Amino acid sequence: MVANFVPSMKTCFRFLSWSFVFLLVSGANSRAASSPPGSSKFQIPATDAGLPGDGPIRRYDWFKKLWEQRRSQWAAQAGQDRGAVVFLGDSITQGWGDDMSGIFPGMRTANRGISGDTTRGVLIRLDEDVISLDPSAVVLLIGTNDLEENATPETVASNVKLILARLKQHNPSMPVVLCKVFPSSETKKRPATKIKRINELYAAAVKGDPNITVMETWILFANEAGDSKKEEFPDLLHPNKAGYAKWSAALRPVFATLRFIETAADDFTPEPGFRSLFNGRDLTGWGYRVTPESDIQSADRWRKSDPNAPPWPVVTTPVDFDRQTASVDGRYVVRSGRLVVTTPPEGRRIQQIWTAREFPKNFILKLEFRATPFADSGVFIRGKQLQCRDYPLAGPYKQLKNYKPQDWNEMVVTVKGESAHCVCNGEVLEAAMKVPLTGPIGLEGDLGQMEYRRIRLKELR
């Protein structure tokens, strides 16, 4: 039996709260849809009266013209965009361009970004520009322009809650990737303190929702002061080609897990002498082991010292995942030859999965891993943890020269007796990590998404 997998009263209350918000937003959007005689339905409403949300709606001449132009164009091509993954936001989203086929090959996309838009502007146009397309998923990045118009982080987050509520009303199971607001600069009226506050409120608003993935895009781009970097944001607001490359790389692993890209089977064959520990099709040979009493005590101490500490599920009876494509809690899933440690809806969640076998002999373990920005995981060698993370951002090995962010990296661990020599892409992580004389191989989930593939082991004489 595995504890802590039953929906809580808090979750049920959240659903009822969302449902109430759905009614408010739907009614407000209906009022906003009516336009004065002779005006275009795609014009910005002349006043705020009766409009959903709160905070700034831009009405500069250039913005009104752009708003109407882009929305009229989208209406004309709505048929071809139906069912696409919709990118929704402001100028940073518009900057992808209208043809994104070369950025995410094989995935149908529709760009619904309008330069200069605010969270309230997105809320007003949501039904016609997005929901009418019945999208397969939505990628949302919005909020930076609200700050320039002196909106508070609380107002920004409140509008985003309404946007997410309306999307959930349309399709409760539709995936949403909520990107944290990018860093900018105090000189742009977008100070780091306010952006960080917005992002905290975003994460708190969607905590526990399994259909919303929070993408850590602030840490991905921020410098030590919490501002954007000139080499990626020349004007300290909009990403350049290098910035967009980092953003697209961060999104690809999530799109792969959602089965929008990288759906072909992995035809990898282990080298002679190596045996696969993961068959690429299901979780045969893996499962949950009973949580040690020492871990339970550590978790209790952790929770007492930090009320916001991530959950630590307690397993009281071993769980076998043979022939299953996902763990009972959905924390580990199989996708096209990849063993995915999914992003925890709670924000952070510590859980390990283990091989049924133990390995008393000397061996060489090889595997490949790919991490979303700031992801934190681990590979357990006979029960001893080797940190496996998005190293440049999450550490502890921040100086690696060969590490490939948000791409596949190879880890090789050679175990002889009680010593493990660990390398990543040929660079030493640990020269002689002390490990037990026997034990299983394990993987851990904590923060963000981590993928593993081509997990194989060769026993040494």
- Helix ranges (H only) for 182-240 are 192-206, 217-221
CB 63 within 8 A of CB 203: no
The H or E element containing residue 49 is none
How confident is the model at residue 8, as a pLDDT? 43
How confident is the model at residue 188, as a pLDDT? 97
How confident is the model at residue 30, as a pLDDT? 47
Residues in the chain where the model's pLDDT stays below 70: 1-39, 302, 308-311
What percentage of the chain carries pLDDT values higher than 70? 90
How confident is the model at residue 310, as a pLDDT? 66
Select from 201, 263, 190 the least CA-distant residue to 228.
190
In order of 144, 378, 411, the CA distances from 430 in angstroms are 41, 14, 11
**451 vs 419: CA distance, rounded Å:** 26
Q: Which domains does the chain carry?
A: 9-257 (3.40.50.1110), 275-459 (2.60.120.560)
**264 vs 165: CA distance, rounded Å:** 34
Burial class (CB in 10 A: 0-12, 13-18, 19+), 369: buried
**306 vs 53: CA distance, rounded Å:** 34
| DSSP symbols for 239-286 | --HHHHHHHHHHHHHHHHHTTSS--SPP---PPTT-EESS-SSS-TTE
pTM, entire model? 0.89
Burial class (CB in 10 A: 0-12, 13-18, 19+), 417: exposed
How confident is the model at residue 41, as a pLDDT? 85
**284 vs 327: CA distance, rounded Å:** 11
> What are 270's two structure tokens?
């282990």
CB 312 within 8 A of CB 426: no
How confident is the model at residue 297, as a pLDDT? 76
